[in-house]
Amino acid sequence: MHMSALISRFRRRREERGFTMLLSLFVLTITTMLLGATYVALLTDTQLSRNDLEQKRAYAAAEAGIAAYTYQLNDNVNYWELCQTATDVAVPGSADNGSSEYYSTVPLIASTAPSNDQQCDTGNPVATMIEGGTGLGAGTFRIKSTGYSMPTGATSCSRATCVSRTLVAQYRRTSFLNFVYYTDYETLDPAALYNPANTPAEPTDCAAHYPNRGSDCSVPIDFVAGDVINGPLHSEDTLAICGSNGQGPVFGRPNSGSIVHDDTIQAAGVSTEGQNGCSLTYTINPSGNTLNTTAPSLTPPPTNAQLLLISLPAYRFTGRTTIVLNGATMTVTNANISGGSETVPFPSNGVVYVSTASSGCPVNYTPFTANTAYTGDTNCGNVYVSGNYTSSLTIASDNDIIINGNLTTANPATTLLGLVANDFVRVYHPVTNRSGTTSGQCGSSAVNGSGSMTNPTFDAAILAVNHSFIVDNYDCGASLGTLTIDGAVAQLFRGPVGTSGGFSSSTGYLKNYTYNDSLMSVEPPYFLNPVSAAWSVQRQTECDAATGC
């Protein structure tokens, strides 16, 4: 090969060396960029994962704060009255590779608190903590629990730099209004005892209920075939069942079309209670539910006097009072009112109270007299009530409440009526030609008197604090059909509403009580709660701490 040819080829290769260098630089640049992008992506993903972990830790810490507060409430039901707050409490066992969690719980002021008292006040905890009125939160209180997560490697952090999440828990006390039916004793009220000398042999549980009364015990009152309790029930006593021919009472509601309640039937037990000819036949709905014999106890308060303090002066009446409801107004008849009666709007706080005159009530109520004290009670704190209503209201009495007409509302989901009597809540039922004043002394010529109600309906939450919900002369007259209650009935002693003839009443009424599900979240104004009832979290939500929740 000629020298000139070699030189020419070498020159061509030398010219290609620049192109190779550029190609190498380009590949190196692309590779570096890809590696950088991968690194950034991995770093960002790690940060996101770490932030997500811190967020979850902070949420768990906030939940731990609520759990700790609930524990204190379970240990002392009045713990909330102490206005206790916890500042930066470490969550036990929360350290994880240097990360730690803390929580802080703070009681929230009630929206109905006095304007001059805007923090939890140990001197006035009810007004500052417990929601009043008739709204969804009535009778509840709230706390705010904020959880903090301190990042790994940090020895301290401000609340501005720590990851935090805040939960608000709303607490509600177990209430009589959790049940369509509540009793402390499934026996006749001692105040309505009939002919104690001839009372049947003492039931086995009598000594526990009446330790000071010896053999003067009343026999239990039976649930019978045809009785229907459509909703949750609670009794501190044994339920007396008198089934026959494979038929018996029905407790609870089936699953379809209604809210399913756990522990539908809560009672000490079920028994025929020594009654002859009765079988222990009954049904509990929903299907599969059984009797709960270990439910926490509920104890009625000793009096409804706190409602007198809550009521406005213009809505406090003394002596026999008749109230006829008409929408959001009521016509009140009372001897102390100028002209004898007045029509007024419902009170702004929804509470009416009727008291006995200072001279006292001269009438001793018994359900076994023809007029059952419908006369002579001028000075008694008795209130007769009937009508329809479009706003929520609570009517209370230091003596008896007598229902002498239907009580209805077109909107039971949000409009509720409470009837709270210190003594009896009674269904008006006069008779004529009654032959005696004890049970069984009705007489064949006795008939239902004027004003007796056939198939009445009461949309109401009823509470007889010291006695019973009862039908006057329940053992006398012809059958009056079925007593329908949409709401709740709570009473210290079981009050009879009729005598049974199987699937029809021989006298008085069969029961058709249906639970108003709204009572799980809404109450009649200032309805009374049990003594020392447990608190539980009704609702828990997350909020933005920056807004103050």
pLDDT digits (tens, 9 = 90+) for 435-457: 887 777 888 889 999 999 999 99
Are the C-beta atoms of 245 and 277 separated by less than 8 Å?
no
Same domain, 460 and 510: yes
Has residue 250 got a pLDDT over 80?
yes
The sign one gets for the Cα dihedral 229, 232, 237, 239 is positive
Has residue 2 got a pLDDT over 70?
no
Has residue 3 got a pLDDT over 70?
no
Would residue 37 count as lying in a domain? no
pLDDT for 520 equals 75
Same domain, 181 and 169: no
Has residue 304 got a pLDDT over 90?
yes
- Characterize 430-464 residue by residue with b for buried, 16 or more Cβ atoms within 10 angstroms of its Cβ, and e for exposed: bbeebeeeebeebeeebebbeebbeebebbbbbbb
Which of these, 211, 295, 203, 287, lies nearest to 252 by C-alpha position?
Answer: 287
Would residue 48 count as lying in a domain? no
Are the C-beta atoms of 187 and 218 separated by less than 8 Å?
yes
Same domain, 331 and 381: yes
Same domain, 98 and 163: yes
DSSP3 helix / strand / coil % (the chain, rounded to 5): 20, 35, 45
Q: How many residues does the chain have?
A: 549
pLDDT for 216 equals 44
Would residue 475 count as lying in a domain? yes
Average pLDDT over residues 176-200: 72
Average pLDDT over residues 161-185: 87
Same domain, 210 and 292: yes
Same domain, 164 and 220: no
Same domain, 220 and 260: yes
- Separation between Cα atoms, residue 129 and residue 173, nearest integer Å: 13
Q: Which domain holds residue 361?
A: 177-520
Same domain, 199 and 293: yes
Residue with tokens 């979290």: 537
Would residue 29 count as lying in a domain? no
- Partnered with residue 238 across adjacent β-strands are 269
The DSSP call for residue 191 is G
Same domain, 143 and 221: no
- Partnered with residue 354 across adjacent β-strands are 317, 397
Residue type at 323?
Answer: I
Residue type at 55?
Answer: Q
List of residues 6+ apart from 213 with CB closer than 8 A: 190, 206
pLDDT for 323 equals 98
Burial tier of 145 (Cβ tally within 10 Å: 0-12, 13-18, 19+): buried
pLDDT for 426 equals 97
Are the C-beta atoms of 468 and 189 separated by less than 8 Å?
yes
The sign one gets for the Cα dihedral 151, 152, 158, 159 is positive
Average pLDDT over residues 117-130: 82
Would residue 25 count as lying in a domain? no
pLDDT for 474 equals 92
pLDDT digits (tens, 9 = 90+) for 444-493: 889 999 999 999 999 999 999 999 999 999 989 999 999 999 999 999 99
pLDDT digits (tens, 9 = 90+) for 378-416: 999 999 999 999 999 999 999 999 999 999 999 998 899
- Separation between Cα atoms, residue 59 and residue 477, nearest integer Å: 65
Same domain, 163 and 193: no
More confident residue, 529 or 495: 495
- Phi, psi angle pair for 129, to nearest 5°: -110, -40
Are the C-beta atoms of 28 and 20 separated by less than 8 Å?
no
Question: How many structural domains does the chain have?
Answer: 2
The DSSP call for residue 267 is -
Would residue 26 count as lying in a domain? no
Give the three-class secondary structure for 213: coil
The DSSP call for residue 411 is -
Q: Give the chain's count of helices (H) and strands (E).
A: 4, 32
Same domain, 255 and 334: yes
Same domain, 227 and 366: yes
Would residue 364 count as lying in a domain? yes
Would residue 46 count as lying in a domain? no
